[in-house]
Amino acid sequence: MVHNDEKIKLDQNISNNDDSNFKSLYGLTPVVENTIINAISNKNARSLKKLIEPLHPADQADMLERLTDEQISDFLGLLGKSLDPEVLVYLDLNVQEKVIDFIGPKALAKAIPELHSDDAVEILQELEEADRNVIIKQLPKSDRILVEEALSFPESSAGRLMQREFLAFPGNWTVGQTIDHMRDQPQDNEDNFYSVYIVDPAHRLLGVISLSRLLSAKRPVRLNNLMEANPRSVNVETDQEEVSLLFQQYGLVNMPVIDKVGRLLGVIIVDDIVDVINEEAEEDLQGLTGVSNLSITASFVETIKGRFSWLILNMFTAILASTVIGLFQEEIEKLVALAVLMPIVASMGGNAGTQTVTVAVRALATRQLNYTNLQKFVLKETWLGLVNGFLFAVLSVLLAYLWFGDKQIALIMGLAMIANLLFAGVLGTLIPLTLEKFNIDPAISSSVFLTTATDVIGFFTFLGLSALVIL
C-alpha cells in the first residue's frame, strides 16, 4: 500500500520541473522510463498522466513493450481514457493484442475513428475475424464503409496501405479557389499533405500538383495548366512490395492509388512504405534464419512452435548428409584424421553458400536481378567461389599438414575445399533462382537446400578422394 505522502512527493518532483527542464526529457530516456515505472508501482495515475502526455505515441508504445503483463494492466488501468489511440499503431503485434484485450471492443471502436484510415485498417486486419466484425459494427457508418472496403482488398496490397484522406480538385479550379477551399475546410493537425490531385467529374485521376508548386503559382492560374498529367500511380491490388520498390526507385513521398477504371481511391504516404520495407526485410531475415518471429515480445510457446518446424526440417536434411558419411564408415574407422577434418570442409561450404544466397535473395526481392544480368551474376559468384576455394585451400593444406603431418591428407583437404566452395558459389545462385522460377519464396527455402547440398558435396568429395587416394 502506498502512503499519501509518497504520492505527494512524487507529484511534487514532477511539477517542480519547469518546461525547459522537462522538454529535455522528451523521448523515452532512462530517467523517464524509471519515473514511469515508479508511478505505476505507486498506483499514481496523476503522475503517470503527466509523464505520458508529452511523449510521442511511438515512445509510449516503446514504454508499453518494456513492461510486464501485470505492469501493462496497471498502466492502462491508471491511464483510462487518456491513452492516445495512435499508440496502438506503433505497438508490436504481441503487445498490441494484449492492449486491445484489456481496453475491450467498445473502447477500440471509439478509438478507430480518431486514426487515419490506413492505421485503422492496419489494426483491424490483425484481429480475429469475429472480434473484427464486432468492432466494425460499432463504427460510425462513414468509417465503417471505408474500413470494410479497405479490408476487401487483398492482404499486403496497396488498398490496405492507402489512406483515404487526400486533396482532390477539378482541373478548372484556379489556384486561388483551391487555396481558399483548403483554408476553409477544417483539417486534422496530424494530416500531412504533399500534393493535390486533379480529377474529372467521375473522380478519375488526371494529374498531380505538388503543394510547393501550387503555393508559388498566381491565384488566377487554373490547375489544368499547373498539373503533371498522367502521374505515376498504382492499382489498388498492387502488392505492397512492388509499391515500396517504386518509392525507392523514384524517391517518392506519396503515390496515388486507383481502381481498374482509373478512379482515385486513396494515397500511400512514405511513412507507411518505411514500415513495408522493414517488414519485407524482416520476412527475408526470418526465412533465411529459420525464425518465424523476430520479436522479443513473442511468448515462449509461440517461439518454440515457430522454430521447431525449421529445426525438424534441418534435422532430416542433416540425416541425408550423415547418410553420405555412413557410406565411408570403414574409411573413417581406418583414418581418424578424416573425421576431424571433414566438418571444416562442410562448414566452409555452407557459410560461403549462405553469403551468395543472401545476395541473390536480396537482389531478387529488389528486382535488381533479371534476365539481362543473370548470366553476369552467376558467372561472378562462380568465380568468387573458385577464387575463395583456392585461397582457403592453401590455408587448409597448411592446417592439415601441420596437424597430421600427412601430405596426402593435406592435398585432399585442399582439393575438397576448392570443390565445395566452387559448388557453394554456383548453388548459392541457382537454388534461389530455381525456387523463384517455381513461385516458391527463395528467402524461406534457400538456406535449407543449400546447407544440405554443401554438406553432401563436401563430405562426398573429401571422403571420396580419401578412399581413392589413401585407402
| Residue type present at position 346 | A
Q: Could you tell me what percentage of the chain is helix, strand and coil, using 3-state DSSP and rounding each to the nearest 5?
A: 70, 10, 25
What gap in Å lies between CA 293 and CA 301, rounded to an integer? 12
pLDDT of residue 157: 94
pLDDT of residue 175: 96
pLDDT of residue 346: 85
Helix (H) or strand (E) holding 380: helix 374-404
Domain positions in the chain are 4-161, 168-269, 300-469
pLDDT of residue 213: 94
Q: In this model, does residue 276 exceed pLDDT 50?
A: yes
Long-range contact list for 433-442, CB < 8 A, 24+ apart? 433/360, 433/364, 433/369, 433/374, 436/364, 441/287, 442/357, 442/360, 442/361, 442/364
Confidence of residue 3 (pLDDT cuts 50, 70, 90): very low
Confidence of residue 166 (pLDDT cuts 50, 70, 90): very high
Task: Give Rg (Cα) of the chain.
Answer: 30
Residues 6+ apart with CB under 8 A from 90: 57, 58, 60, 61, 62
Q: In this model, does residue 40 exceed pLDDT 80?
A: yes
Helix (H) or strand (E) holding 445: helix 442-469
Q: In this model, does residue 185 exceed pLDDT 60?
A: yes
pLDDT of residue 177: 95
What gap in Å lies between CA 139 and CA 317, rounded to an integer? 51
Q: In this model, does residue 435 exceed pLDDT 60?
A: yes
Residues 6+ apart with CB under 8 A from 154: 160, 237
pLDDT of residue 14: 45
Mean pLDDT of 94-119: 89
pLDDT of residue 300: 60
Kindly report, residue by residue over 227-247, the tens digit of the pLDDT: 999 899 999 999 998 999 899
Q: In this model, does residue 206 exceed pLDDT 90?
A: yes
Mean pLDDT of 381-386: 91
Structural contact between residues 461 and 328, judged by C-beta atoms closer than 8 angstroms: no
Place of cell 534441418: 314
Confidence of residue 5 (pLDDT cuts 50, 70, 90): very low
* φ/ψ of residue 50, rounded to 5: -65, -35
Q: In this model, does residue 311 exceed pLDDT 60?
A: no
Q: What is the CATH number of domain 168-269?
A: 3.10.580.10
Mean pLDDT of 445-470: 84
Superfamily designation of domain 4-161:
MgtE N-terminal domain-like (1.25.60.10)
pLDDT of residue 11: 45
Confidence of residue 289 (pLDDT cuts 50, 70, 90): low
Kindly report, residue by residue over 412-433, the tens digit of the pLDDT: 989 999 999 999 999 989 998 8
pLDDT of residue 448: 74
Mean pLDDT of 293-319: 59
What gap in Å lies between CA 252 and CA 244, rounded to an integer? 10
pLDDT of residue 2: 43
Structural contact between residues 203 and 221, judged by C-beta atoms closer than 8 angstroms: no
Alpha carbons within 13 angstroms on the beta-carbon side of residue 291 total 11
CATH match for 300-469 among 2.60.34.10, 1.10.357.20, 3.20.20.480, 1.10.10.10? 1.10.357.20
* φ/ψ of residue 388, rounded to 5: -60, -35
pLDDT of residue 204: 96
Of the candidate ranges 9-13, 215-219, 236-240, 450-454, the one whose mean pLDDT is the lowest: 9-13
Please give the share of the chain, as a percent, with pLDDT higher than 90: 39
Residue whose C-alpha is closest to residue 460's, from 337, 318, 328, 343: 328
pTM, 2 dp: 0.67
**Comparison of pLDDT for 392 and 338, the residue scoring more:** 392
pLDDT of residue 8: 41
